[in-house]
Amino acid sequence: MTKLSELPSFRIHLSQLLQQAALTLQIKSTLYIEISRTKQASHGDYSCNLAMQLAKALHKSPREIAGMLINAMPESAYVERIEVAGAGFINFFIRNDAKRIYLKHILQSGDSYGVSSFGDGEKIQVEFVSANPTGPLHVGHGRGAAFGASLANVLSKAGFSVTREFYVNDAGRQMDILALSAWLRYLALNQVSIPFPENAYQGAYVKDMARLIYEAHGDRYVHQPGLLLDGLPEAAHETAISTDEQLDRMIATAKKILGQDYAYIHNFVLTEQLGDCRNDLMEFGVEFDVWFSEQSLFDNGLVARAVRLLDEKKHLYRQDGALWFRSTEFGDEKDRVVQRENGHYTYFASDIAYHLNKFERGFDRVINVWGADHHGYIPRIKGALQALEQDPDNLKIALVQFAVLYRDGIKAPMSTRSGEFVTLRELRNEVGNDAARFFYVMRKSDQHLDFDLDLAKSQSNENPVYYVQYAHARICSVLAQWDGDAAMLVDADTGLLTSPAELALLQCLIDFPDIIETAAQELSPHVIAFYLRELASEFHSYYNSTHFLVPEVPIMEARLALVTSIRHVLKSGLELLGVNAPEKM
RNA sequence: GUGCCCGUAGCUCAAUCGGAUAGAGCACCAGCCUUCUAAGCUGGGGGUUACAGGUUCGAUCCCUGUCGGGCACGCCA
């Protein structure tokens, strides 16, 4: 049995041939020899632009250099012929029987085909979603979830050791607002009427949580809410106090009134929302290895430690009573506060501690999937890492543009606070998990995504995901009707596959590992989605032009070997995107 | 106002980090089911890559400017 490692990677092989040639010709160059796939069959299978890049340094024409390189190249069992074309491209034509070796490999390795050692076991963390647990996930979070999960899968398949992490913002003001909101709704259930602030959480889920508390504990948490009103100005318009400040005062008063019981309410709403979030994501096929608590950073003294470390390295100064980090020295637009005048650490401070902690946990590389609206935050967090003597280049930020939701051709409102948004759950129920996962990663992540709800809902059958799934189901159907032993196909005479369609499909299958590598390198799972459409398209075309279950057994087996290989690749590709590969549709 | 991102077919988006004749889907038009699933296939029209310069063998990609759009600019998280 042949091992996977013996598979000829044509790209690596060709680049080695060129390297040999350059050595023979005594060409000294640090140029990276890039082998790329061609777009046209007349240009062969792979091409290289090395000759053109060398032209200037060598004072020769690109075509001349290309000819020299070709002559100096060692013989190869895989290469049928090499041509100079155009301005000086070196085009490689791979022998068909060399390509056919792949079929046997794919059939032997099955769904694990495409696994590579590209990542070399490097420890890499992907942190994504990390939504405030203050309400249901909405369609914007859905994109980050689909992107992050697919990216993590791709990296894993490409040979990285991946940890999926969710950062739980359980320590901030937003959580306090949620706790207050739930308590106020709870008081209302106890016939204690206090005006509900506009900037508190309005969603129905808050009332649901209040009811749960009420049903379990009756009036136990009512206490003396009158104080809540006493602590407030009778009418906001009489003072210059902002509604935000008003809310903060209500929170402070609530904490005072409730005492120990505040922790119960706070913890209850956090647990509820986090549990809901986890369920939602699990149903979406998105799972995490680590749920990292922001509060734990405070509890373990890591925030204070991070600030102290910055201070020891003389990157902090005090001004207007607050403690500032000199982020301007690291390329930021302005310095940033890490500890406020009132002694509280800022979110930035805990974020510094968090990111330092990531690297101290031993990750070689860290990828943060952020909403694009956070782009201004990048310089300061990288600056802080640099100040703490970590290499900021080991932190990659993958910015995901928000999905803009359209309903009836109009931009739909998306405010969590007001409760007017389309939840991820709603979307999943409407269009299905598969369509949602695929749709989310069909586009490059840093492009805006126009999510037309009406289109997604009403025309869900025309969603591109079905096209790929259909190809898989068709193959399964054919194999079921054949009713033979799939293991036998490894020995099929693949030399009988000679049509242009068959050779094109073969090449498409050979590309799969390269596609995964590209997707991993560029943090772009969308190339998987595009690849799968391409492969499905080639297959559907082949299916319509060629009958598989023919009387001539050797031909039938050869075609079934090809088709079964396609099935493996479709399945593992869809798996990367978290999409099912149904056997029937 | 300052900074970052974006502008590609009627619409939604690609284009292997500077490569060869810029590609798909949707929509539109014309065909294909007595045969392994028509959620499919075949063919067709569609473009001065916002605009104007520049860099070089070669530009959708890099530089400058203009126009248009998005986002960010707190001792919020």
pLDDT of residue A580: 96
Write out the two tokens for A109. Answer: 């390795």
* A476-529 tens-digit pLDDT: 999 999 988 988 999 999 999 999 999 999 999 999 999 999 999 999 999 999
Report the distance from CA of residue A381 to the C1' of nucleotide B71 in Å, as an integer: 19
Report the distance from CA of residue A474 to the C1' of nucleotide B38 in Å, as an integer: 12
Write out the two tokens for A482. Answer: 């054949």
* Other residues' Cβ atoms within 10 Å of the Cβ of residue A318: 11
Assign domain A100-120+460-576 to its CATH architecture.
Orthogonal Bundle (1.10)
Which class is A4-94 in CATH? alpha beta
Q: Which among A349, A445, A358 is positioned nearest to A395, based on CA atoms?
A: A358
* A152-183 tens-digit pLDDT: 999 999 999 999 999 999 998 999 999 999 99
What's the start-to-end Cα distance of chain A, in Å?
35
pLDDT of residue A240: 53
3-state class of A68 per DSSP? helix
Cα distance between residue A270 and residue A187, in whole Å: 19
Q: Which among A372, A513, A339 is positioned nearest to A446, based on CA atoms?
A: A372
Q: Which among A515, A575, A547, A98 is positioned nearest to A567, based on CA atoms?
A: A575
Nucleotide nearest A174, CA–C1', reads: B77
Nucleotides of B under 7 A from a protein CB: 3-6, 12-17, 19-21, 24-27, 35-37, 39-42, 57-58, 70-77
Write out the two tokens for A289. Answer: 């290895």
| CA nearest to nucleotide B6 C1': residue | A447
pLDDT of residue A461: 64
Indicate if the pLDDT at residue A227 is higher than 80: no
Angle CA A333–A338–A339, to nearest 5: 140
* A96-144 tens-digit pLDDT: 999 999 999 999 999 899 998 899 999 999 999 999 999 999 888 999 9
Q: Which among A164, A163, A161 is positioned nearest to A121, based on CA atoms?
A: A161
Cα distance between residue A530 and residue A566, in whole Å: 15
pLDDT of residue A236: 45
| pLDDT confidence bin for A4, thresholds 50/70/90 | very low
DSSP A120: T
What's the whole-model pTM score? Answer: 0.94
Indicate if the pLDDT at residue A414 is higher than 70: no
Nucleotide nearest A377, CA–C1', reads: B72
Cα distance between residue A11 and residue A33, in whole Å: 10
Cα distance between residue A442 and residue A435, in whole Å: 10
Indicate if the pLDDT at residue A226 is higher than 70: no
Contact A406, A451 (CB under 8 A): yes
Indicate if the pLDDT at residue A247 is higher than 70: yes
The whole-chain average pLDDT of chain A stands at 90
* A326-375 tens-digit pLDDT: 999 998 989 999 999 999 999 999 999 999 999 999 999 999 999 888 99
**E strands along A140-249, which residues?**
161-168
Chain A window 10-39: residues with CB closer than 7 Å to nucleic chain B are 34, 36-39
Averaged pLDDT for residues A67-72? 94
pLDDT of residue A237: 46
| The A449-452 sheet, strands edge to edge | A410-411, A403-407, A449-452
* A254-301 tens-digit pLDDT: 998 898 999 999 999 999 999 999 999 999 999 999 999 999 999 999
Largest CA distance in chain A: 92
pLDDT of residue A26: 87
CA A336 to the chain's CA centroid? 29
Q: Where are the domains of chain A?
A: 4-94, 100-120+460-576
| pLDDT confidence bin for A87, thresholds 50/70/90 | confident
- Is A481 within 7 A of strand B by CB distance? yes
Contact A129, A417 (CB under 8 A): no
Averaged pLDDT for residues A444-459? 73
- Is A163 within 7 A of strand B by CB distance? no
pLDDT of residue A460: 62
- Is A322 within 7 A of strand B by CB distance? yes
Radius of gyration of chain A (CA): 30
Chain position carrying tokens 């999960």: A149
Report the distance from CA of residue A330 to the C1' of nucleotide B68 in Å, as an integer: 33
Indicate if the pLDDT at residue A401 is higher than 80: yes
Write out the two tokens for A441. Answer: 């990663």
- Is A213 within 7 A of strand B by CB distance? no
Averaged pLDDT for residues A219-245? 65
What ipTM does the predicted assembly reach? 0.95
- Is A86 within 7 A of strand B by CB distance? yes
Nucleotide nearest A88, CA–C1', reads: B57
* A365-379 tens-digit pLDDT: 999 999 888 999 999
Helices A260-283 & A204-217 angle (0-180, nearest 10): 130
Nucleotide nearest A472, CA–C1', reads: B37
* A26-66 tens-digit pLDDT: 887 777 888 999 988 889 999 999 999 888 888 888 999 99
pLDDT of residue A412: 67
Chain position carrying tokens 């068709």: A474
| pLDDT confidence bin for A538, thresholds 50/70/90 | very high
- Is A190 within 7 A of strand B by CB distance? no
CA A494 to the chain's CA centroid? 37
pLDDT of residue A1: 35
* A311-329 tens-digit pLDDT: 999 999 999 999 999 999 9
pLDDT of residue A238: 47
Residues in chain A: 585
Write out the two tokens for A392. Answer: 């900021």
Angle CA A133–A139–A140, to nearest 5: 75
| CA nearest to nucleotide B70 C1': residue | A448
